[in-house]
Structure 1
Amino acid sequence: MAITTTEADAPRRFRFPSAFTILFGLIVLVAALTWIIPAGQYQRVLNPALDKEVPVAGTYAPTDANPQGIFDIIMAPIDGLYNHATGQANAIDVALFVLVIGGFIGVVSSTGAINAGIRGAMTALKGREKWMIPVLMGLFAFGGTTYGMAEETLAFYMLLLPIMIAARYDAVTAVAIILLGAGVGVLGSTVNAFATVIASDAAGVPFTQGIVLRFVILGLTWLACVIYVMRYAERVRLDPTKSLVYDRKADNEKHFLAGHEGEGAMEFTALHKIVLAIFGLTFVVMIWGVLFDGWWMGEMTGLFLASALLIGFIARVGEQNFVDAFLSGARDLLGVALIIGLARGIVVIMDAGKITDTILHWAEVSTAGLSKVVFVNVIYWIEVLLSFFVPSSSGLAVLSMPIMAPVADFVGTGRDLVVTAYQSANGIVNLINPTFAVVMGALAIGRVPYERWIAFMWPLLIILTVIITGCLSIATILA
């Protein structure tokens, strides 16, 4: 008699907790620590450059303890959304900005401009397929550096995989173009609302501070990734046995090329070009407003709402379709908005429990005597470690920046360097992070086993690490 195994009887695979579970667990852990870690506070003075009060090195003193209980734990995420106790702008402002920019992206996507632009680039390069690699990686990097393109990339794999396999490359090449393209854009974020803007806000500095260094990191790391992927792709084209998924070649060709033999390219219309021009111009206007007109969360939110309305009007998407697209885009980023409050809840607990300054004091003591260069590199590696447990760029920003950024004041290093170290660390980890849904989803779509992706990535990770730490070190010396 055959024995069948039901799904319930099958051994369950370990599933890494989501960012929500991790962050709430950290709230509970930090609340427990308020019963153990001694309470203490620094004296604070107004820093005119930052327009906020900052702790004064050497003034730390013990104070009365205020351990946090169950009620405080429950209220922490709620307080995290609107509490001024963290010394930052209201998180509800940041959360609303995230939702509106999600709606903006949803409206842009509904016009088909992004899909048509990528298809147009592919068509123009037909017969010169290898040049699709830098062009497409540039387009995805633009999405990564401007709005943190991540989950949105999952729609492009089934579009690109057949094209790259038909061009005698392999699935690893296709996955690398998208995952590395968008990933290196996030790594070198310049105006990314979900990394640079939120982290700078949490650190108490304008997000435009340090933007030149981030452009340098973006350019160098993008170039390194392009060269690396092009070399691998050319080896595979000349000798298919060099492919890391060569044993799956026949199966992948059957799977990905079926039904694509006669597929034509979507027309890249004048309307699509206008939409993409407005899309890019919106970010230019945002930078101008912050630099020259004192814009912040409210004005930036209004800008993206206005741009969404303008694109909807020009593209004639219709009232109902506009609302559906806007709400769909906002819905996709609802989790990010909630994570902001949840992560800031950790800081609320730490502040209320009066252990924030104690931890800051320990950091001050541990970094005492370190040179500025060593300090910024230590911050980078701390953020690398944290990124494995909190892959969310926004979640990690509001978790770590309120602690890490003030330490830079004691060392005499700019807070913008700490922000850059954070976003670079988080970006490089999320190129391989098994706790990051985008990585695992991309590999599943491309049918690339995780261990083979690691085999492909490890030399590049070393190259990127050298570039990032080198740029951080040089910038610290020149500052």
Structure 2
Amino acid sequence: MSSTKKFKFPTAFTILFIILIIAVGLTWIVPAGSYSKLTYNSTTQQFVVKSHQQEDQFLPATQESLEQLNVKIKLNNFLEGKIRKPIAIPGTYRQVEQQPKTLKDITLSMVNGTIEAADVMVFIFVLGGMIGVINRTGSFNAGLTALAKRTKGNEFLIVFSVSVLMLIGGTTCGIEEEAVAFYPILVPVFIALGYDAIVCVGAIFLASSMGTAFSTINPFSVVIASNAAGIQFTEGISFRILGLILGGISVITYLYWYSKKVKADPTFSYCYEEREEFEQHYLSFHQGDNNELEFNTKRKIILTLFCLAFIIMVWGVMFGGWWFPQMASSFLAITIIIMFLSRLSEDEVLNAFTTGAADLVAVSLIIGLARGVNLVLDEGMISDTILNYASNLVAGMPPTIFILAQLVVFIFLGLFVPSSSGLAVLSMPIMAPLADAVGIPRDIVVSAYNWGQYAMLFLAPTGLVLVTLQMLHIPFNKWVKFVMPMIGMLLLIGSILLVVQVSLYA
């Protein structure tokens, strides 16, 4: 008697490892090339032009120097630190000697990518440790039970509230990696409400990404892209606000439909087969004896401090110039306060913290592996070649076709450069001037960048999506099935708004 083994979709690690091998192969096929890059040295107060295998060129930090380089960016954007990453200088692309990577670079890039992602990994470990300590106090258990009772019959209100908050977070401050912090606390809540893992990903990752795609004042995408394009970020903001409203309605409507289906029939869940592993992992602290824990004053204070940590984090990112070291530090400080407040023994606290951090080791390693892919592309010097080819492809097209082609180009570039700020400073000085040639405002190109890149980042393995799926034990193919309608809606809304904007100026 023969038996057939059921196919299991590869894990996040396998997918990224395959992509890493492909990236190494591309460095042998795609011609190597490089743009000259412009940076501002705040110490010497000079511009520095770096070109491959050439001596650095130093220029006075003046608007005249920028004009000389054909960089249409206001000087203050450099002096005030709004643009910190190297800017690609238009018209300076040239092919260079091939820089092929070898088999040894596969493992080396994995190690170097992990080192480069150390700040994010420390943040995730501290977050996991905090979750572990709070779990040990029973605060999540007691709070979850109280919430489930209070929302009985109106469960979707929680999904709606989280989605709206994530949409706002995405459009204002581009909450992405920081959203990882919300899963350990919100997932048990969603399970208790009768939903599945994908509902949680939809309310957090999908909603925040839709908000970021239609960024209004997000400093890490639309603001830096506008600065790099030489315009004010407020240009085109009315269309981005309209897109945000339409995109938000689409997400919430879609989540309502899916949540209602899962609530009525749990087998409808796209990840029904993984439910046992998922629930066992996230409800482990909710199991044990059947005695209901009292949601007393101490536990309420602990959960309040936990929520306060996120409020402080959002404030720090938006107004304090924080990045992952500062966020990790603030989380650690509040964790220490909770440790003393909990009155747990030293051994209990240490075991809870290390157990919580250990649960997120796999997530951290995926971030490092994804960074390794980007390192291979950069060190193989093919990223600039891809950008140069894309810019030549769309140059000289009629306005409507041009802007839709820009949307497609940014979808493609989003796969190779998953960083929103990284793609902005690399591509905008090259792509934005192309709008002048076809007679449309540059802010429309900025919108095409935003909407195209994020359509790809819903799926790009080199982005945040595999980290999220690994945390929630969701196979990549199940996520693709769920998210494709929303990608289609994003591109539909974006395409219509782009065409309307172009028609107003044609």
Could you say which TM-score interval applies, normalised by the shorter chain?
A: 0.5 to 0.7
Amino acid at match of 1:378: V
Pairing 1:322–2:354 present: no
Q: Secondary structure at the match of 1:46?
A: strand
Check 1:52–1:326 CA distance in 2 against 1; reply closer, same or farther (3 A cut): same
SS in structure 1 of the partner of residue 86 of structure 2: strand
> 1:73 is matched with which residue: 82, 99, 106?
106
| Cα contact 1:421–1:472 (8 A) shared by 2 | no
- Rounded to whole Å, the distance in 1 between the matches of 2:122 and 2:396 is 42
- Alignment correspondent of 2:17: 24
Pick one of 57, 75, 79 that aligns with 2:90.
57
Match of 1:294 in 2: 321
Question: Is 2:428 the counterpart of 1:408?
Answer: yes
- Shift in CA distance, 268/182, structure 1 to aligned 2, threshold 3 Å: farther
Structure 1 residue 183: Cα displacement: 4.5
Identity percentage of aligned residues? 28
Distance 1:429 1:188 in 2: 15
Q: For residues 36 and 224 of structure 1, do their structure 2 counterparts lie closer, same or farther at Cα, with a shift above 3 Å needed?
A: closer
- Structure 2: 5+ residue stretches without partners: 41-77, 170-174, 213-217, 270-289, 433-441
Residues of 2 paired with 1:75 and 1:233: CA distance? 43
TM-superposed CA distance for 1:135, in Å, is: 2.5
Query: Could you tell me which amino acid in structure 1 is paired with residue 129 of structure 2?
Result: G
1:363-395 CA-partner distances (Å, limit 9, x unpaired): 3223435769536743674489x5xxxxxxxx9
- Is residue 2:310 matched to residue 1:280? no
Q: 1:141 to 1:119 in 2, by over 3 A?
A: farther
Q: Structure 1's 472 and 265: CA in aligned 2 closer, same or farther, altered over 3 A? A: farther
Deviations 1:138-186 (A, max 9, x none): 347768965334577665566333xxxxxxxxxxx66775454344444
Is 1:181 aligned with 2:203? yes
Structure 1: runs of 5 or more not aligned: 83-89, 162-172, 191-195, 247-262, 387-394, 444-449
Aligned pair 1:102/2:128, yes or no? yes
The CA deviation at 1:315 is 2.8
Match of 1:135 among 131, 148, 158: 158
1:306 Cα offset (Å):
1.1
For the 8 Å contact 1:379–1:421, the answer to whether it is kept is yes
Distance 1:416 1:268 in 2: 49
Cα 1:353–1:460 shift into 2, 3 Å:
closer
Counterpart in 2 of 1:378? 408
Structure 1 contact 179–442 (Cα < 8 Å) conserved:
no
Contact 1:121–1:132 (CA<8 Å) still a contact in 2? no
How far apart are 1:50 and its partner, in Å?
1.4
User: What letter corresponds to residue 51 of structure 1 in structure 2?
Assistant: R
Q: Which residue of 1 aligns with 2:27?
A: 34
- Corresponding residue pairs, total: 407
Equivalent positions of 1:423-438 (< 5 A) are: 423=454, 425-427=456-458
Q: Report the 3-state secondary structure (helix = DSSP H, G, I; strand = E; otherwise coil) of the residue aligned with 2:28.
A: coil
> What is the alpha-carbon distance in structure 2 between the residues aligned to residue 118 and residue 186 of structure 1?
23
Q: Find the aligned partners of 1:269 and 1:474 in 2 and give their Cα distance.
A: 56
Query: What are the within-5 Å matches in structure 2 for residues 46-445 of structure 1?
Result: 46=39, 48=78, 49-82=82-115, 90-126=116-152, 129=153, 131-139=154-162, 147-148=179-180, 149-150=182-183, 155=188, 159-161=192-194, 178=200, 180-188=202-210, 223-227=249-253, 267-369=294-396, 374=404, 377-378=407-408, 381-382=411-412, 397=418, 402=422, 406-412=426-432, 418=449, 422-423=453-454, 425-427=456-458
User: Is contact 1:77-1:342 (8 Å) kept?
Assistant: yes
Is residue 140–residue 181 contact of structure 1 (8 Å, CA) maintained in 2? yes
Alpha-carbon distance between aligned partners in 2 of 1:317 and 1:74, rounded to the nearest angstrom: 42
Conservation of the 8 A alpha-carbon contact between 1:102 and 1:330: yes
Q: CA offset at residue 317 of structure 1? A: 3.7
In structure 2, distance between residues paired with 1:235 and 1:137: 16
For residue 61 of structure 1, report the CA deviation from its aligned partner. Answer: 0.8
- Cα distance change of structure 1 residues 69 and 232 upon mapping to structure 2, 3 Å threshold: closer
Structure 1 residues 308 and 436, CA, compared in 2 at 3 Å: closer, same or farther? closer
* Cα distance change on mapping 1:369 and 1:341 into 2, 3 Å: farther
Cα distance in 2 between the residues matched to 1:46 and 1:14: 50
Deviation at 1:42, TM superposition (A): 0.9
State the distance in 1 between where 2:388 and 2:206 align.
34
- Whichever residue aligns with residue 66 of structure 1, its letter is Q
Matched AA of 1:294: G
Alignment partners' CA distance in 2, 1:277 and 1:322 = 19
Q: TM-score, normalised by structure 2?
A: 0.61
Cα displacement string for residues 267-297 of structure 1 (whole angstroms, at most 9, x for unaligned residues): 4333333233222322222233344443323
> Per-residue CA shift, 1:79-103, capped at 9, x if unaligned?
2234xxxxxxx42222222222232
Q: Given the superposition, is the C-alpha separation of residues 281 and 79 from structure 1 closer, same or farther in structure 2, using an over 3 Å criterion? A: same
Partner letter of residue 52 of structure 1? K
Identify if the C-alpha distance between structure 1 residues 342 and 159 changes in structure 2 by more than 3 Å, giving closer, same or farther: same
8 Å contact from structure 2 (residues 124, 360) kept in 1? yes
Q: Deviations over 1:207-250 (max 9, x none)?
A: xx99x99999887656545555657888999xx8x99969xxxx
